[in-house]
């Protein structure tokens, strides 16, 4: 089947919105214009861009200029100032969304082998059979779907459980892809075959195979746009999470923003809840509210909330 040139692919491909981009020299960006966009991006998304990111800004925002038929970055900035809806497109263009199924697999092994047995033991003592997980910066959905698979597999044969995953991102494009839950064969290649057959439906799009998440998996995950730098997150005040994943997100934030973010996570984590961050990230010099377990896994002690700065 031949697809029309402008139609949307049925699946989420490795040729995602940034991986296939080439640097454009069609537009020049002045020092002042670059600083204006840096300030706007920081204010809108908390992303701190160094001078070294000038070419990245030029390349990615150049697509927005061509989309609107504009001739300069000054014209594009004026458009944003008169049309705040374009800020969403700006943020979507700048954010990077590299992820895979079972990425940093040791995190999911820890959940299955260490955290789940504690849930089961607590349930045997009368505690609620309920698990709440937040994936902050979920990108195109591979991480929360991997967690859903991990929990379903680990809980198999251990009774009925109330499992809910909140998956959030600031990028509305990747959230839409995550909600569709459809991935091409390359994207799905890191999923073990038995799990792929169990939790995904295989479909054919011309010569290309793709895989769609089954309802048993999809129904566990709620996708929502949340800007992590907002002072108040749109999360119910009575909700506390057993697990928070925020991996490869804070590397784009400056230290004050990181400090604010991890203090916020401590407020929504249950005592003795777990925080998972990316392999290149650390809480050293950022937060003392958590105990390090190793391998970028942290635990909030019972007294953790009392140590959070007001």
List active site positions.
Answer: 60, 169
Exposure on the CB side of residue 40, measured as CA atoms within 13 A: 21
C-beta separation of 45 from 89 below 8 A: no
For residues 145, 147, 153 and 154, what is the CA-based torsion angle, rounded to 10 degrees? -170
How far is it, in rounded angstroms, from Cα 182 to Cα 9? 10
How far is it, in rounded angstroms, from Cα 287 to Cα 257? 11
C-beta separation of 218 from 194 below 8 A: no
Residue of 296, 227, 248, 221 whose CA lies nearest to 97? 248
For residues 13, 184, 171 and 22, what is the CA-based torsion angle, rounded to 10 degrees? -10
Distances (CA, A) of 206 to 1, 3, 203, 306: 5, 9, 10, 58
How far is it, in rounded angstroms, from Cα 21 to Cα 62? 11
């Amino acid at each position: 089947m031949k697809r029309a040139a402008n139609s949307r692919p049925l699946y989420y491909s490795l040729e995602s919105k940034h991986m296939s981009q080439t640097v454009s020299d069609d537009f020049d960006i002045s020092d002042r214009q670059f600083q204006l966009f840096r300030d706007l991006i920081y204010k809108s998304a908390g992303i701190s861009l160094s001078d070294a990111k000038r070419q990245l800004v030029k390349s990615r925002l150049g697509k927005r200029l061509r989309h609107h038929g504009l001739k300069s970055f000054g014209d594009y900035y004026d458009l944003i100032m008169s049309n705040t809806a374009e800020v969403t497109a700006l943020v979507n263009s700048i954010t990077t969304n590299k992820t895979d199924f079972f990425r940093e697999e040791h995190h999911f092994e820890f959940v299955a082998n260490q955290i789940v047995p504690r849930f089961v033991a607590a349930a045997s003592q009368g505690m609620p059979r309920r698990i709440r997980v937040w994936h902050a910066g979920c990108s195109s959905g591979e991480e929360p779907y991997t967690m859903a698979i991990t929990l379903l597999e680990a809980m198999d044969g251990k009774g009925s459980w109330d499992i809910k995953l909140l998956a959030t991102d600031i990028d509305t494009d990747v959230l839409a892809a995550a909600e569709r839950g459809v991935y091409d064969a390359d994207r799905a290649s890191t999923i073990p075959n038995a799990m792929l057959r169990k939790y995904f439906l295989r479909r054919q799009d011309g010569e290309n195979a793709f895989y769609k998440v089954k309802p048993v998996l999809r129904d566990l995950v709620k996708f929502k746009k949340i800007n992590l730098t907002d002072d108040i997150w749109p999360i119910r005040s009575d909700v506390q999470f057993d697990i928070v994943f925020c991996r490869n997100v804070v590397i784009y934030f400056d230290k004050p923003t990181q400090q604010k973010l991890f203090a916020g996570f401590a407020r929504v984590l249950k005592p003795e809840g777990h925080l998972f961050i990316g392999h290149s990230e650390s809480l050293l010099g950022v937060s003392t509210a958590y105990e390090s377990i190793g391998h970028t896994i942290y635990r909030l002690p019972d007294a953790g909330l009392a140590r959070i700065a007001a």
